[in-house]
Structure 1
Amino acid sequence: MYALLLLFPLGPGMRSTAEKLGDQFSPVHRTAKGFKNETFLADDSTGEYGSLTLWDSKEDIEAFRQAAAPHLQKVLAGIAKGPPTTRVFEVYQPKP
């Protein structure tokens, strides 16, 4: 399993905007191939928001990123204080 961390700076006090973005992208995540789970993140004091999504494979993440990137760029244009940061991680699950 793999994780995609997406962080984007909106500025302090933009929680409601970030929540609307989460509400908008959640259905997109859920219908994507290989999607497992999502958690949305917020740091209201710094104005950094984002998501952590889990996927079956790196290939599923890359396919999603390519398909969703134009839409993400469009919705962040004019409201983001900088470019989004993305990172992909392999997920380790401890053995019982």
Structure 2
Amino acid sequence: MFARRIYMHLKPNSVAEFTQRVEKDILPLLRKQKGFQDEITFVGQGGAEVFAISLWDKAENAEAYNRGTYPEVTKILATVVEGPAQV
């Protein structure tokens, strides 16, 4: 098993929109990825910080997602994330 972690800063007052985008747009994309097992997302108190862990069968699966689908995910989150995410 391989865990991929990501850290993001959210724009002010965007937790609800972030959560909606994760549930409606991002999780369906992740579930289609080879080797994807699960996603755990933590939103910090005050809603400014997000820490997410995705679980994969192998590191190669997470790397393929990073090269292929992840750029689409960053576009989906562009309106709610401030600055680049730290992977």
Shorter-chain TM range is 0.7 to 0.9
Whole-angstrom CA distance in 2 between matches of 1:4 and 1:21:
19
Tell me if structure 2 keeps the 8 A contact 1:29–1:35: yes
Whole-angstrom CA distance in 1 between matches of 2:47 and 2:15:
11
What SS is found at the alignment partner of 1:70?
helix
Structure 1 unaligned runs (5+)?
A: 87-96
RMSD: 1.7
What SS is found at the alignment partner of 1:81?
strand
TM-score of the pair, normalised by structure 2: 0.83
Structure 2 unaligned runs (5+)?
A: none
Whole-angstrom CA distance in 2 between matches of 1:25 and 1:36:
14
Aligned residues, how many? 86
TM-score of the pair, normalised by structure 1: 0.76
What SS is found at the alignment partner of 1:84?
strand
Runs of 4+ in structure 1 displaced over 2 angstroms?
A: 75-80
Shift of 1:11: 3.1
Whole-angstrom CA distance in 2 between matches of 1:48 and 1:11:
9
Tell me if structure 2 keeps the 8 A contact 1:18–1:49: no
Tell me if structure 2 keeps the 8 A contact 1:38–1:54: yes
